[in-house]
A and B are shown apart, each in its own frame.
Chain A
Amino acid sequence: MSRIVSVFVPCLMDAPHPETARSVVTVLRRIGVSVNIPKEQSCCGQPAYNNGYRREAARVARRFLKTFASARAIVCPSGSCVHMIRHEYPVLFANDAQWLRLAEEIGKRTFELTEFLVDVLQVTDVGACYPAKATYHDSCHLARGLGIRSQPRELLSNVRGLQWVEMKDSDRCCGFGGAFSIKYPEISTALCDDKIENIRNTGADTVIGCDMGCLMHIAARLATTGSPIHVRHIADILAHTGNAP
């Protein structure tokens, strides 16, 4: 498999969390992967698609496809975006043969970060060290949509210093759901509180996930309750090699 990859940085990571995007690059480079980050990238189109605005979604999706058309492998640190590209682009371009073909080809070459590390490169230890007591949140599109459950766990189990606790219903939705969280804030927050209760019950000081959307939501809710629990993207854990987080 190609050791040169193009990284697609999710829009929810690119501007709010550039340091996490940097972690993705750090991890890939540490294991000898050459990284290319196309400057022309923006978003996969999911925000519009999930709300029914398919014309707008298709415009943005076409830009994504053009940007990554020549990439041999695309790595994206988000189950949600990869699910969009792999499983929703074929729906979006169902009546557009030309773009459909490109979308399907690119869908096959696009991998979620932990999937790429474990399934493609067969790397389960990236030499990380992160002393913390942590639990893992399975994001919906990653776990159910792409079936990626064991890969992040394998990677985390090889992080030195990381004490591991599973939470109850780890694959239950955090209530983010994109625009849902704004249209139905009360329901969204109630779901998030259920998630936070399960996190708290583990006694973990850190919750780890693979999708910035969920993590941002959980962190934003935790912040209003003054909780000391840290919320981290898996890339930030895997990139860490020092002693103190």
Chain B
Amino acid sequence: MTTPSPEHYPQQAKQALSDPILKKALKGLQDRLGSGALAAYRNLPEGEGLRHLAHEIRKAHVRNIDVLLATLGRNIRSHGGNVFFARDAAAATDYVLNLARERGVRGVVKGKSMTSEEIGINAALEKDGISVTETDLGEFIIQLAGEHPSHIIAPAIHKTREDIGRLFEKTIGIPYTDDPPALTLAARKYLRTRFLEADMGITGCNLACAQTGQIALVSNEGNIRLSTTLPRIHVAIMGMERICATLDEQLLLLRLLCRGASAQKMGGYVSFIAGPRKDGFRDGPEEFHLIVLDNDRSRILADPVFREVLCCIRCGGCLNVCPVYARIGGHTYGYAYSGPIGAVITPLLTGIERSKHLYCGETLCGACKDICPVGIDLPRMLLALRNIHAEGSRRWNIRPNHLLESLAYGIWAQLMTRPKLYNAAIRLGHELSPLIQRLHLPGWTPQRAIPSLAKRRFTQSPMSQTSTGENRHGS
């Protein structure tokens, strides 16, 4: 399988659209989680309005990000942990690689982390001869299949249990079965050995807290707890925006995160990790390293329009309601982040021109804004990205270079501001209607019939100009 990329969105979309299994799986996921999340918000003891509060809280976090990260770093270090601020993906992977080499690491177990997907840590470690095992069941399946996650929280949603049965038969050598409990048990047995052998656990970070100097990790499988306590080294990687000021705010956001992600009041396991094992304690790693990743997030932070997207807590809720995502799946977006949130941050992180299909290929229906637990206005940002694409941006170093399209909109604006010309165009369109109806209009036909035009616009007809009505009921 070729690695998907944002440039090939249209082709990847076509491929996904012809996959009936994907369609069924995503429909099931959306029916379950999308409406479930909205119900979960309504059932909040504080009411749905809590999301407005969360929006304000997150905006404050983003506004004060420098101070909060400095405080977090100080507090984690005071707990005996190490903190590394990584400028980009290379700096982050180098840090992990050097650490692994110095400590003689041979096996790594991983908790689910999209940030680690963003920096491509698995490939870097494997190149160095270190074995890496994903321990989230979905991620484990994806890793065995040699693929990438297709959903932020349900990475293997595009696979059937029959697919997984065949995959397990081929890769971990169990007899074929498509019984989910049997498959889960097989994975569990296989993974348990890896947990015990591993020298290093790598996880993401759902939300860190500056005040207390800890990170919180949510899972439903318990694999993260094992990854962070059994190996002698724990490395957590967080996008620099995943920071909260206070413990109260962190808890509030964790509640919303679980509701948005999976319509749960709280995930099955929530770990708060502040540093390595303390003297006299029996559990926990000998070393704890927190990598705070920038990787162009500072650039987003510097832009007043897009800054708001850093409020995202990566619940994946927008994937669970997006009608486009429902039909094209996560791989079509060609990067770690898919769905509406991917359509906004992938271009900002990897190139606005390169990823143009991501923000042009959404309908602006607003379902993502509706479900966001922290009230991010994603449609507004899709529009802003389209504006940069069309008119260029000095800040993002993009020049307008879509001559034909801009010419077309120029002509359109002429028509719309010159009534005589506009009327003549409609008249012409009407006269040519019988011909046009037989034409192939690329992009519209053959999927859809061509609507016809009246001879005259209603607003130009004499009937429209009688200004008063019958006033039957008086006024």
Seen from chain A, the residues whose Cβ lies within 8 Å of a Cβ on chain B are 3-4, 9, 11, 13-18, 21-22, 25, 28-43, 45, 47-57, 59-60, 63, 88, 91, 140-141, 144-145, 172-173, 175-177, 180-192, 194, 216-217, 219-221, 223-224
Does B181 touch A at the CB level, under 8 Å? no
Report the separation of the CA atoms of residues A43 and B422 in the bound assembly, to the nearest whole angstrom.
Answer: 11
A177 B459 Cβ-Cβ under 8 A = no
- Identify which of residues 366-392 in chain B touch chain A, using a CB-to-CB cut-off of 8 Å: 366-367, 369-370, 380, 383, 385-391
- Bound Cα distance A241, B385 (Å): 47
Which chain B residue lies CB-closest to A127?
Answer: B472
Contact indicator B463/A43 (Cβ below 8 Å)? no
- Given known contacts A35-B469, A217-B448, is B387 in contact with A52 (CB within 8 Å)? yes
Whether a CB of chain A sits under 8 angstroms from the CB of B4 is no
Interface segment among B135-143, B146-154, B269-277, B407-415: the answer is B407-415
Cβ–Cβ contact B383 & A34, under 8 A: no
Beyond the given pairs A13-B458, A180-B361, A184-B13, 19 more chain A to chain B contacts, judged by CB atoms under 8 angstroms and listed by A's residue number, are A14-B458, A15-B457, A21-B459, A35-B467, A37-B464, A39-B460, A42-B417, A48-B413, A56-B409, A56-B410, A59-B413, A172-B367, A183-B361, A184-B360, A185-B443, A191-B327, A220-B451, A224-B447, A224-B449
- Check B471–A34 contact: CB distance below 8 A: yes
Does B17 touch A at the CB level, under 8 Å? Answer: yes
Q: Chain B nearest CB: distance from A155 CB in Å?
A: 17
Tell me how far the C-beta of A166 lies from the nearest C-beta in chain B, rounded to whole angstroms: 14
A144, closest chain B residue (CB): B366
Nearest-neighbor residue (CB-CB) of A87 within chain B? B380
B10 at the interface (CB under 8 A from A): yes
A34-B10 contact given A13-B458, A60-B417, A180-B362, CB 8 Å threshold: no
Known: A21-B459, A22-B463, A140-B366. A91 touches B380 (CB 8 A): yes
Inter-chain contact A144/B370, CB cutoff 8 Å: yes
Q: Which residues on A sit within 8 Å (CB–CB) of B362?
A: 177, 180
Contact B409 A53 (CB under 8 A): yes
User: Whole-angstrom distance between the alpha carbons of A180 and B443 in the complex?
Assistant: 9
| A144 and B365 contact, CB distance less than 8 A | yes
A76 to chain B, nearest CB (A): 12
Find chain A residues with CB under 8 A from B13 CB: 184, 186-187
Interface string of B13-31 (1 = CB under 8 A from A): 1100100000000000000
Q: Mark B241-267, 1 if CB is under 8 A from A, else 0.
A: 000000000000000000000000000
Of A30, A52, A63, A172, which one neighbours B389 at CB under 8 angstroms? A52
Complex CA–CA separation, A21 to B385 (angstroms): 34
Interface string of B443-469 (1 = CB under 8 A from A): 110111111111011111101110111
Contact B453 A16 (CB under 8 A): yes
Query: Could you tell me the distance between the alpha carbons of A14 and B415 in the complex, rounded to whole angstroms?
Result: 14
Chain B at the A interface: mostly helix, strand, loop or mixed? helix
Pick the contact of B413: A31, A40, A56, A173 (CB < 8 A): A56
In-complex Cβ contact of A51 among B390, B429, B451, B472 (8 A): B390
Contacts of B364 in A (CB 8 A): 50, 140, 177, 180
Kindly state whether residue B406 has any CB partner on chain A within 8 Å. Answer: yes
A116 to B453, CA, bound (A): 28
Most-contacted residue by chain A among B13, B324, B419, B446 (CB, 10 A): B324
Q: Is B426 an interface residue (CB 8 A)?
A: yes
Bound CA–CA A145/B361 (angstroms): 19
Q: In angstroms, how far is the closest chain A Cβ from the Cβ of B389?
A: 5
User: Which one of B370, B388, B454, B473 contacts A52 once the chains associate, using CB atoms below 8 Å?
Assistant: B388
CB atoms of B365 and A43 under 8 A apart: no
What's the nearest-Cβ distance from chain A to residue B368, in Å?
10
A185 partner residues in chain B, CB cutoff 8 A:
443-444, 447-448
A198 and B280 CA atoms in complex are apart in Å by 62
CB distance from B219 to the nearest CB of A (A): 30
Closest beta carbon of chain A to B276's beta carbon, Å: 47
Q: Contact at A187–B361, with CB atoms within 8 Å?
A: yes
The residue of chain A having its C-beta at the shortest distance from the C-beta of B463 within the complex is A22
CA distance A53 to B410 in the complex (A): 9
Output the least CB separation between B170 and chain A (Å): 32
Report whether A50 and B386 are in contact in the complex, using a CB–CB cutoff of 8 Å. yes
**Cβ distance B413 to chain A, nearest Cβ, rounded Å:** 4
Instruction: Name the A residues within 8 Å of B367 (CB-CB).
Output: 140, 144, 172-173
Closest residue of chain B to A42 (Cβ to Cβ) is B416
Which 4 pairs of residues, A with B, have the shortest CB-CB distance? A29-B469, A52-B390, A177-B363, A52-B386
Q: Is the CB of B458 within 8 A of A48?
A: no
Are B472 and A30 within 8 A (Cβ)? yes
Q: What are the residues of chain A within 8 A of B419 when measuring CB–CB? A: 39-40, 42
**Cα distance A60–B10 in the bound complex, in angstroms:** 31
B470 close to A (CB within 8 Å): yes
Inside 8 A of A13's CB, which chain B residues have their CB? 458
Q: List the A residue with the shortest CB-CB distance to B446.
A: A224
Please, which residues of chain A bring their CB within 8 A of the CB of B386?
50-52
Say yes or no: A173-B363 contact (C-beta < 8 A), given A220-B451, A224-B449. Answer: yes
Q: A191-B363, A220-B450 are in contact. Are A32 and B460 (CB under 8 A)?
A: no
In the complex, the answer to whether B417 meets A59 with C-beta atoms within 8 Å is yes
B429 CB contacts on chain A under 8 angstroms: 15
